[in-house]
Structure 1
């Protein structure tokens, strides 16, 4: 499907270690329209602990720099009202895991997942039985879309596609 450059071993390791955080982010965002700092910090900790073993030191350092650049861009987009703060922080925490050569593929993957999750979310929130079953989910009534619902699965599927080669 994609010609990804993330090594398979790193992809499997990253998938196993980040999947709980990606699920947490998606669920937290649809429930409360917030991506928790603890989830973002956990994702960063996973990269710091596992990325140091998955990549050579110079590559690891470049990936950290890319995360810092993503954070600066995210803050600018947040200040402009284009992106939520939690979304910007999650993107910055996820960026170091992504090989720069895979960035375009990840953006395409995000576009597809964003479209699918947006449609699914809007359809489900229009069904009274679903809304009644989960009445306290803030995303049912908020006009904004919970981007964590697309961001978490994008990172996990990137690792999955890289792992299966």
Structure 2
């Protein structure tokens, strides 16, 4: 086949490939399935076998034995090559995906300790409002009702509490 020129249905190699697939395709799939024990891999072997037959029609039709023997030899070689490959030795088929590895939690723990220390440096009023808003997820209205203070006071304490927290963190080496 010349590069850039697609083969037509009238091409003899296409007719040969169709005849080979019709005559030997099912047997070749059973052979590959018996040796790989994996349907997807067996189908890949059969597909690659016929692709090689298509690329080398003279080898198939001109082989000293039958075309069937050539196809099964190619399939066997593909299976053996896969078993010998490094990829096959590294891959292990599993029924379910294993648990994901959990990263080191030391940084998160240190961040929590640092933040806890900085929060203790705040006044109790500022700390209470910040905890309710950011860790409790409550709105200004909910915080005001919960703490028994006006909404404006909650807003003011949030503003000044965040400023004080930022300063406390900067004093502990957290810079921005």
Q: TM-score scaled by structure 2?
A: 0.30
Relative to the length of structure 1, the TM-score reads: 0.31
Which entry has the higher C-alpha Rg, 1 or 2? 2
Structure number with the higher helix fraction is: 1
